[in-house]
Amino acid sequence: MKYEIEQKNKSKGIFTWYLRWYDPKTKAMRYKSLKTENRNEAHRLLLQKNGEMMGEDWAKAPTFRKAFMAFLDDTEMTKGDGLTIRNYRSQLSPLVNFADECGLQSITGLSFDLANEFICKFKGLKPNTIAQKLKVCRLFFKWAFKTWDLKAENPFSRIKYPKIRKNEKSFWTPEQVEKILDSEKDKEFRFCFALMAYAGFRFFEAQKAVWGDFEGDFIKVMGKGGKFAKVPASAKLRAEIGRFLDGQQRPDSGAVFSDRVTNTATNREVKKACAMAGIKYEGRANCHRFRHSFASNLLRGGASVVTTQRLLRHSTPMITLSVYSHVLKEDLTDAVNLA
């Protein structure tokens, strides 16, 4: 028997986490309230319950491999983004192998010197690649120490990030976005484009959309880290909803998109639509560029950084400012000539 966790009354606006397991006697799922709305606390209790069932000493620090698998499980449960999970697996697998080579029995055995030795193995790679690996390692240890309530210093916290040349985010103008959408003949992919371009959805947020999330002029969305938000549907997006439904009544439930709307297939359709529209561009033509375009065009149109941050659902305005500062610089150049 294996325990899982679920917010079983989420559709009713109740965010309490429940322990869930299959009872072979009654042949039914059983639930027990964990009395918390905090995802991290719920997952900690889940790991503890499964550990107790397997006769494990919960107070003992986990091995690298156990913590690694638990981290991936937690990421899959909270983010549900296949690309993120594959990235974390790719970044952390060498660390787990390194720990095995060093004979480390638990994650608390990795010292600062060993962590630095591990990062130094990648000196020949690009600074961006090294920075991403260091970021994921820090995140993993922060999560593990918090989950198992371990009082130890993150061994990667004192390792400095390499200097990185910041690249400006490429984006499409509103006119280019419209041309791309008009060039996409498949209505499923077009509507997926529209959610990213006119509501700032990430691809996995658009892909997992259900009709129950559409409430009047607002759309409910579950973003990174299981964060819940309601975003307004613009006039352009409402027009795209009507176009997608093609005169039919909007369903009350069910998935918006079929299984064929995958990240790979959608990125392929973006490139094809750009080619058909005759749009020349720098950088990559992919799903995430729609979100960058949404944010950049908001700022260029006069929206404040705080408004843009709230629509993008960034945790702080500083994140929005750091990512899209190049747009503000362009506007400053235009504005100073008005003086």
Is residue 137 over pLDDT 90?
yes
Which of 12, 27, 58 terminates a domain? The answer is: 58
β-sheet with 28-33: strand ranges across? 4-6, 18-23, 28-33
Q: Based on the domain organization, do 238 and 314 belong to the same domain?
A: yes
Residue 23: half-sphere exposure toward Cβ, Cα within 13 Å: 9
Q: Based on the domain organization, do 29 and 85 belong to the same domain?
A: no
Q: What pLDDT digit, counting tens, does each position of 210-224 carry?
A: 999 999 899 999 887
Q: What pLDDT digit, counting tens, does each position of 297-336 carry?
A: 999 998 999 999 999 999 898 888 888 877 766 665 555 4
Domain that holds residue 6: 1-58
If one compares 22 and 142, the residue with the highest pLDDT of the two is 142
Specify the pLDDT at position 132: 94
Specify the pLDDT at position 2: 66
Q: Based on the domain organization, do 203 and 310 belong to the same domain?
A: yes
Residue whose tokens read 């008009």: 182
Rounded to the nearest integer, the mean pLDDT of the chain is 87
Which of 135, 165, 195 terminates a domain? The answer is: 165
Give the residue-averaged pLDDT of 28-42. Answer: 85
Q: Quote the tokens at residue 309.
A: 């941050």
Q: Based on the domain organization, do 250 and 308 belong to the same domain?
A: yes
Q: Based on the domain organization, do 271 and 146 belong to the same domain?
A: no
How many domains would you assign to the chain? 3
Specify the pLDDT at position 297: 93
Q: Based on the domain organization, do 330 and 231 belong to the same domain?
A: yes
Q: Based on the domain organization, do 160 and 22 belong to the same domain?
A: no
Q: Which residues contact 85 (CB under 8 A, 6 or more apart)?
A: 72, 75, 76, 79
Return the amino acid letter for 39.
R
Q: Based on the domain organization, do 259 and 326 belong to the same domain?
A: yes
Specify the pLDDT at position 213: 94
Q: Quote the tokens at residue 130.
A: 């090294």
Q: Based on the domain organization, do 18 and 108 belong to the same domain?
A: no
Q: Based on the domain organization, do 47 and 69 belong to the same domain?
A: no
Specify the pLDDT at position 333: 57
Specify the pLDDT at position 155: 94
Specify the pLDDT at position 57: 46
Is residue 338 over pLDDT 60?
no
Which of 139, 165, 191 terminates a domain? The answer is: 165
Give the residue-averaged pLDDT of 215-239. Answer: 90
Query: Is the pTM value of this prediction over 0.85?
Result: no
Is residue 181 over pLDDT 50?
yes
CATH code, domain carrying 244: 1.10.443.10
Q: Based on the domain organization, do 178 and 214 belong to the same domain?
A: yes
Q: Based on the domain organization, do 239 and 300 belong to the same domain?
A: yes
Q: What pLDDT digit, counting tens, does each position of 148-158 carry?
A: 888 888 999 99
